[in-house]
């Protein structure tokens, strides 16, 4: 059982966008035990698209196309597929109603161009788009299956996970499963993680471990291929346990878990509330903390205090402290943390001040210098942090380090 | 003159990594005036690789492979190319010395596996790797050129820019250049933009216009191919002017400009300051506003007011209003906007309240319902917004809509 992905869109061939859809589909297909031997990209060109699909139909069991389902004349996927499988295009009233409802809900006038998206090849299964307007397709063709998905990643992902996975699983059972587990670490450099798990990184299939460095985060991916899901999971669990043994302190979660989610869970479990006063991160910490569903249970208040006036008047930072040590200082961070804790009546108060750059740095206080403080009970825990990178990279790394401080405390 | 890219690597087909190399090469080739009609990915499999290269050699003038040049037995590109062009592999002493020097410099013991990387097809031009160990190749094959580049992006990019661009330019004069300009719009759906510029979307090369929908944003990309850079730019300017004429109100910037950057520029030009009180967006608006370098000039304060207590005690929202209309209401948004404006002493105050989901929605107040208010002078401008999507998508779309409100005002 193998699948092939054909991405359609001149914007991909021009390099305007990076093909993340193919990576997503490859990952999901691998998890289902379906091999992918080829992926390709063609432009918005009917004859090249038809050639690509015909070639795929010879060598692959499942052909998945992405993109080219939009309302404009550039979007040629449906016409091409209809011609290929020899079916007429028919206006589907259910689809049309879906599309009209989409605009109605948003209180936007229905643009007549979008009618095109309701044209479906006769007797062909279509997939409802719960996120956007273009429906997907699942068509049988010469004992093969052709699946057409829209280009926008959130539409494609929702459709694939909700509808395509179960369709393929029903039709085709494969003899093996690939499972993976990603262990996420922070507060430790890649090279140190590498050293600690060197023996695992040399493992040969069926079970392998890879290391991936991201901004403010290192990930270890364990993959296992086995005849059944249980065997694969068991092989992963064995290695996972050993990795935990060696790196426990730095691991904050697995797979889709986020650092803010892990912090949120701990706050809920311990019934603690939190409030944050941010200067250089400009609300990014609050935004990440509130990305978590249910965060209103523990997140009381965030304050972005850019000016000294706000720091003094609202957070009650002592004007003397500001004068003596400057806004970017250990002392001000600490007073911001206690100030917001009091103001919000929270259990934990966070204070962050620093220089996100690119301008504003000096010799003694360079761009990337950040002071972070966590006020809890009667203590204030302080850290001086130093980062490199662009403005958003410094903001992100700071938020990452502060979340890790909260997690550790 | 056209090129085709073949990426080699099972890790791409497993979806472990996203193919950014192809996007990079496509972009650079487009700038050189070289068309790309196909890109594909094959695994570390000699027969499938040979088939892919043979197919490419029929339809494309330049074939660029990426990846598969590493020191392990999985890396099959060089052997496959040598077999294809009928050349013996010979140990190249210069390359071997380069590789040994690489390890010496890093004070790492030379691993004998890496000797493989010094095997070069006889009489074939190789490219020095200034960043890593694997050399690249440029081979002539049936009037076509095959270029092999390593997989790690930094190595590939350095080699392509330093060596391949000039080689291709010397051998093949395309006599033309491609330039592009991206016009960014918000506050208008894709289909409406499509309607307004339909005539441009049908343009045939050398100058074309494409439309791309992103979350809360639509982009129009004008591309022009001409014999010189000036002609290309002039052709773009002509269309750009017409697009501005039709869609001026919705255009906030070009190319790398962001909406928050555009808003920042306007605030600086008009010497206005701003403060934001956010509920459902949880600090995302403040974070985006402060992503702009120099935003401390106009951004005074942000407040994330999740709880009713904060809304009452700090923003002075009337408890009666909260009781009568609920926290997610037009009235509360308005009082939040005036409250933060007063508290911060800013010229403009923003109030946002809504339901970001996925939980917390009701029939009358569904997930995705947001009220946004902008207080300026003695007025408050209000909008009721409705979005679909995940929690972060609703947060992002809200911040986008509010930035657009500020820009318009």
Tens of pLDDT, residues A62-87: 999 999 998 887 889 999 999 989 99
Residues of A within 8 A of B217 (CB-CB) are: none
d(CA A228, CA B354): 45
Contact A24 B41 (CB under 8 A): no
In this predicted structure, the answer to whether residue A179 has a pLDDT above a threshold of 90 is no
Query: What is the pLDDT averaged over residues B244-265?
Result: 95
Q: Mark whether B287 and B404 lie in a shared domain.
A: yes
Residue B236's CB is within 10 A of a number of other CB atoms, namely 19
Q: What is the pLDDT of residues B135-146, one digit of tens each?
A: 999 998 888 899
Domain check: are A21 and A165 in the same one?
yes
**Separation in Å, CA of A345 to nearest CA in chain B:** 10
On whether any CB of chain A is under 8 Å from the CB of B19, the answer is: yes
Mean local confidence (pLDDT), B158-187: 84
Q: Which of A77-86, A245-254, A397-406 has the lowest mean pLDDT?
A: A77-86
Per the prediction, chain B carries an average pLDDT of: 91
Res A175: pLDDT: 63
Residues A269 and A365 placed together within one structural domain of the fold: yes
Number of domains making up chain A: 3
Mean pLDDT in chain A? 91
Task: Name the A residues in 289-308 with CB < 8 Å from any B CB.
Answer: 289-291, 293-296, 299-307
Give the model's pLDDT for residue B240: 97
Q: What is the pLDDT of residues B229-246, one digit of tens each?
A: 888 899 999 999 999 999
CATH number for the domain harbouring residue B369? 3.90.950.20
Partners of residue B303 in chain A, C-beta under 8 Å: 301-304
Residue B204 or residue B266, greater confidence: B266
Identify the band that residue B131 occupies on the pLDDT scale cut at 50, 70 and 90. Answer: confident
pLDDT for the residue B66: 97
How close B123 gets to chain A, by Cα (Å)? 31
Q: Are residues A293 and A189 in the same domain?
A: no
pLDDT of residue A74: 80
pLDDT digits 0-9 by tens, A124-134: 999 999 888 99
CATH number, domain at B228?
3.30.70.2860
How many CA atoms does the CB half-sphere of B269 hold within 13 Å?
A: 7
The whole-angstrom distance between B90's CA and the closest CA on chain A is 29
Q: What is the mean pLDDT of residues B281-290?
A: 94
Residues in chain B: 409
Are A23 and A128 contained in the same domain? yes
* Chain A residues with beta carbon closer than 8 angstroms to that of B310: 300-301, 344
B38 touches chain A (CB under 8 A): yes
Angstroms from B311 CA to nearest CA on chain A: 10
How big is chain A by its Cα radius of gyration, in Å?
Answer: 26
- Interface touch B212/A16, C-beta < 8 Å: yes
Q: Given a cut of 70, is residue A374 above it in pLDDT?
A: yes
Q: How large is the average pLDDT for residues A26-41?
A: 91
Highest mean pLDDT among A43-47, A202-206, B5-9, B32-36: B5-9
Domain identity same for A64 and A150: yes
Boundary-marking domain end, from A171, A203, A237: A171
- Residue A105 to residue B386, Cβ atoms within 8 A: yes
Instruction: Please answer yes or no on whether B210 and A12 come within 8 Å at the CB atom.
Output: no
Same domain, B145 and B72: yes
B291–A282 CB contact, under 8 Å: yes
- Work out the minimum CA distance from A249 to partner chain B, whole angstroms: 26
Q: What is the pLDDT of residue A24?
A: 96
How does residue B316 score in pLDDT terms, banded at 50, 70 and 90?
Answer: very high
Residue B182 and residue B219 share a domain: yes
The pLDDT-based confidence of A213 (bands split at 50, 70, 90) is confident
Residues B220, B269 within the same domain: no
Write out chain B residues lying below 8 Å of A221, CB-based: 16
Give the 3-state secondary structure of residue B80. helix
Percent of residues in chain B assigned helix, strand, coil, to nearest 5: 45, 25, 30
Answer yes or no: are the C-beta atoms of B373 and B336 closer than 8 Å: yes
Q: Average pLDDT, stretch B345-350?
A: 96
State how far the Cα of A370 lies from the Cα of A372, in Å rounded to an integer: 6
Same domain, B138 and B196: no
For residue A110, what pLDDT is reported?
Answer: 87
Percent of chain B's residues with pLDDT above 70: 99
Task: List the single residue in B38, B281, B282 with the smallest CB-CB distance to A42.
Answer: B38
Please report the sign of the dihedral spanned by the C-alpha atoms of residue A166, residue A167, residue A171, residue A173. Answer: negative
Pairing between strand A177-185 and A136-141? unpaired
Strand partners, A141: A144
**B196 shares contact with chain A (CB less than 8 Å):** no
C-alpha pair distances (Å), A31 with each of A160, A203, A223, A344, B187 = 13, 19, 10, 46, 39
Q: State residue B174's pLDDT score.
A: 59
With vertex at residue A289, the alpha carbon angle to CA A284 and CA A293, rounded to the nearest 5 degrees, is 135
pLDDT digits (tens, 9 = 90+) for A286-316: 999 999 988 989 999 999 998 899 999 999 9
Model confidence band, residue B172 (pLDDT cutoffs 50, 70, 90): low
Average pLDDT, integer, range B19-40: 92
Q: Is A104 left (phi over 0), alpha (psi -120 to 50) or beta?
A: alpha
* A253 bridge partner residues: A184
Q: Does A115 contact chain B (CB < 8 Å)?
A: no
Lowest mean per-residue pLDDT among A69-73, A130-134, A142-146, B268-272:
A69-73
B16 and B137 inside one domain:
yes
Query: Which range marks the domain in which residue A12 is found?
Result: 2-171
The whole-number pLDDT of residue A172 equals: 65
Contact B304 A283 (CB under 8 A): yes
Report CB contact under 8 Å: A392, B291. Answer: yes
CB contact under 8 A, B40 and A41: yes
Note whether B16 contacts A27, CB cutoff 8 Å.
Answer: yes
Asked if the C-beta of A227 comes within 8 angstroms of chain B's C-beta atoms, the answer is no
Mean pLDDT (whole number) for B308-325: 94
- On the question of pLDDT at B248 being above 70, the answer is yes
Of A140, A171, A202, which residue is a domain's last? A171
Contacts of B18 in chain A (CB under 8 A): 18-20, 23
Is the CB of A343 less than 8 angstroms away from the CB of B22?
Answer: no
CATH value at residue A127: 3.40.980.10
Mean local confidence (pLDDT), B83-94? 93
Measured CA to CA, the distance from residue A47 to residue B144 in angstroms comes to 23
Q: Which of residues A122, A151, A171 is at a domain's end?
A: A171
Is the CB of B392 inside 8 Å of chain A's CB atoms?
yes
ipTM over 0.85: no
Are B195 and B319 members of one domain?
no
State residue A174's pLDDT score: 60
For the cut 70, the answer to whether the pLDDT of residue B46 exceeds it is yes
Helix orientation angle between A77-85 and A46-59, rounded to the nearest 10 degrees: 50
């Amino acid at each position: 059982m193998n699948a092939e992905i054909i991405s359609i869109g001149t914007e991909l061939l021009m390099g305007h966008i990076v093909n993340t859809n193919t990576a997503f589909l490859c990952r999901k297909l691998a998890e289902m035990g379906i091999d992918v031997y080829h992926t390709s990209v063609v432009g918005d060109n009917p004859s090249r698209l038809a050639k690509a699909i015909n070639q795929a139909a010879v060598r692959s069991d499942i052909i998945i196309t992405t993109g080219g389902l939009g309302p404009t004349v550039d979007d040629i996927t449906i016409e091409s597929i209809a011609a290929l499988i020899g079916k007429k295009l028919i206006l589907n009233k259910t689809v049309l109603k879906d599309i009209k409802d989409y605009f109605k809900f948003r209180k936007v006038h229905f643009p007549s161009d979008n009618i095109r998206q309701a044209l479906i090849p006769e007797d062909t299964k279509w997939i409802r788009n719960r996120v956007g307007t273009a429906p997907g397709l699942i068509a049988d063709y010469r004992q093969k299956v052709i699946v057409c998905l829209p280009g926008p990643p959130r539409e494609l992902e929702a459709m694939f996970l909700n509808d395509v996975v179960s369709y393929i699983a029903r039709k085709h059972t494969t003899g093996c499963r690939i499972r993976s587990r990603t262990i996420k670490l922070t507060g430790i450099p890649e090279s140190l993680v590498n050293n600690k798990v060197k023996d695992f990184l040399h493992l040969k299939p069926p079970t392998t471990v890879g290391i991936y460095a991201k901004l403010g985060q290192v990930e270890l991916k364990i993959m296992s291929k086995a005849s059944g899901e249980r065997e694969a999971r068991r092989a992963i669990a064995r290695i996972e346990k050993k990795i935990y043994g060696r790196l426990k302190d730095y691991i904050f979660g697995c797979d889709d878990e986020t650092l803010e989610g892990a912090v949120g869970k701990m706050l809920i479990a311990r019934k603690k509330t939190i409030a944050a006063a941010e200067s250089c991160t400009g609300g990014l910490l609050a935004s990440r903390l509130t990305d978590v569903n249910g965060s209103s249970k523990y997140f009381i208040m965030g304050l972005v205090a850019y000016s000294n006036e706000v720091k003094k008047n609202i957070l009650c930072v002592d004007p003397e402290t500001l004068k003596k040590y400057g806004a970017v200082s250990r002392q001000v961070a600490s007073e911001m943390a206690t100030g917001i804790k009091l103001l919000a009546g929270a259990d934990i108060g966070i204070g962050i001040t620093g220089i996100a750059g690119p301008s504003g740095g000096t010799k003694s206080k360079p761009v990337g210098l950040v002071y972070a403080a966590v006020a809890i009970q009667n203590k204030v825990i302080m850290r001086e942090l130093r980062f490199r990178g662009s403005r958003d990279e410094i903001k992100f790394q700071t938020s990452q380090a502060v979340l890790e401080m909260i997690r550790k405390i």
